[in-house]
Amino acid sequence: MKLLLAIDDSACSDVAIKAVEERPWPKGSEARIISVIDPPLSPTPQLMRVTNNQVDDLVQAVQLHYEAILKTAARRLNNGRSGPIRVTEVVKQGHASEEIIKEAEAWGADIIVIGSHGRRGFNRLWLGSVSQMVLNHAHCSVEIVKCQEEQV
């Protein structure tokens, strides 16, 4: 079983990690954990004062932040109910739903697990837009882990 776990730094992602770590996966299962960094912002008058080096530094800091989140999630999966499983991590840059779908297809995932709500956008207006897009366009099964309202 090839499981793609899509996470960000939201409480709902933590619930999704917990759902995966508590489940008994078939022997020989492997997991790939993905996080997607938003594309750099379009130039605005305020951003025109920011140098390319500052943008690069910011992107690097965000990359390191997500790599740390993925490492923690990988440790949790390896200590989960199924015992150690092969886990790889990947951080992509782009639009979350598109990158998750592309990664699942390229890697040959059997299932994508994602939290119902992320941390992106106007939290109350666009809740669930990434998980909804993944559900509608993925080539494989998708499990959306429900997050309680107070966790959002």
Cβ-contact 5, 30 below 8 angstroms: no
Cβ-contact 92, 59 below 8 angstroms: no
8-state DSSP, 85 = -
CATH number at residue 52: 3.40.50.620
Is it the case that residue 117 has pLDDT exceeding 50? yes
Count the domains in the chain. 1
At residue 79 the predicted structure's pLDDT band, cuts being 50, 70 and 90, is confident
Q: In which domain, by residue range, is 35 found?
A: 2-151
Which of 38-47, 85-94, 117-126 bottoms out in mean pLDDT, i.e. has the lowest? Answer: 117-126
| Mean pLDDT, rounded, for 137-146 | 96
Read off the pTM: 0.85
